[in-house]
């Protein structure tokens, strides 16, 4: 006899579950998903939702860890749906915060897929668009940047790949001309020794390190390179799917780029901070 994976009782020969138990379980999961999404959006009273959740769990063979997963999924889906218009409103953020606290979900619970970080990042961008300096991160330990007076750190990225555009020169054609023998073992060459120079540019990985975004500068600190770039010296930003590039205001300056893994956030962050100045 096999045991039912839902109720734990005998399911019958070569069977893993009762059909009725499976139906109750699936219906319960569906209802929980709807309740979690509605509560995370702020469309349902949290106390009423909790009562309904407890009732469903009791009658649907849903284990505590499965309930927690469903509650986390409700948070994640709500964040992604709220971001469809590009920004999360204060009301949406407040509803998500209350949902998190009410169901005792931790940052680690909610950030497995990056949803909690996305929520904080959206809040940072909203603060900037409202003309406010974001104060949403707490740094423990020392940072490798020497911040200037009245300068505030807004965000930090770790394991950032830094690229510089460098020029390489090659020649096409090579030697052309003739050789005239003037003595035993000696030759006099005429013509050109090099062909036409071809200059190409390519992005070269110049280091991996920490990228700091402040109210005045962009900082980078790697194993072999460390520098800061004032926003006032940047003439343009380039968005990438996984980072951003910048061009300094200097005749000899070459394009620089940073791969942080999230181009949407970092590009909007540096552009809005530069405008805030």
Least confident of 7-21, 64-78, 113-127, 164-178: 164-178
Q: What secondary structure letter does DSSP report for 130?
A: T
Out of 1.10.1060.10, 3.30.70.100, 3.90.70.10, 2.30.29.30, select the CATH number for domain 153-165+200-276. Answer: 2.30.29.30
Q: Which sequence spans correspond to the domains of the chain?
A: 16-129, 153-165+200-276
Residue that has been written with the tokens 């970092």 in this structure:
266
What's the whole-number mean pLDDT along residues 79-108? Answer: 93
Name the DSSP class of 4.
Answer: P
Is the per-residue pLDDT at 168 higher than 70? Answer: no
189 has pLDDT over 90: no
pLDDT at 5 over 70: yes
Confidence of residue 185 (pLDDT cuts 50, 70, 90): low
| Residue 43 structure tokens | 């469309």
Give the whole-angstrom CA distance, residue 237 versus residue 105: 37
As beta bridge partners, residue 2 has: 12
Phi, psi for 64 (deg, rounded to 5): -55, -40
CB 102 within 8 A of CB 115: no
Span of 71-80, 232-241, 247-256 with lowest mean pLDDT: 247-256
- Integer Cα distance of 59 and 24 in angstroms: 8
Rounded to whole angstroms, the Cα distance separating 99 from 50 reads 11
Percent of the chain beyond pLDDT 70? Answer: 87
Give the global pTM: 0.80
């Amino acid at each position: 006899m096999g045991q039912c994976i839902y109720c734990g009782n005998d399911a019958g020969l070569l069977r893993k579950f009762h059909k009725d138990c499976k139906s109750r379980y699936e219906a319960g999961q569906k209802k929980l998903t709807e309740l979690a999404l509605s509560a995370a959006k702020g469309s349902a009273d949290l106390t009423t939702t909790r009562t309904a959740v407890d009732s469903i769990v009791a009658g649907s063979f849903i284990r505590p860890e499965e309930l927690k997963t469903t509650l986390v999924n409700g948070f994640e889906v709500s964040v992604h749906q709220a971001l469809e218009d590009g920004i999360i409103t204060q009301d949406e953020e407040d509803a998500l915060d209350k949902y998190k606290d009410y169901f005792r979900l931790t940052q680690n619970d909610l950030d497995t897929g990056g949803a909690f970080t996305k929520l904080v990042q959206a809040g940072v961008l909203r603060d900037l668009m409202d003309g406010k300096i974001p104060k949403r991160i707490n740094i423990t330990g020392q940072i490798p940047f020497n911040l200037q007076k009245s300068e505030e750190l807004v965000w930090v990225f770790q394991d950032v790949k830094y690229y510089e555009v460098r020029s390489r020169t090659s020649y096409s054609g090579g030697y052309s001309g003739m050789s005239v023998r003037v003595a035993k073992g000696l030759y006099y060459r005429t013509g050109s020794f090099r062909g036409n120079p071809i200059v190409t540019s390519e992005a070269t990985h110049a280091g991996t390190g920490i990228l700091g975004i402040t109210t005045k500068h962009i900082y980078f600190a790697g194993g072999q390179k460390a520098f800061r770039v004032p926003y006032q010296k940047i003439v343009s930003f380039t968005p990438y799917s996984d980072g951003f590039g910048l061009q300094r205001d200097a005749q000899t300056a070459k394009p620089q780029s940073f791969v942080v893994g999230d181009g949407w956030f970092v590009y909007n962050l540096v552009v809005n901070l530069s405008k805030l100045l």
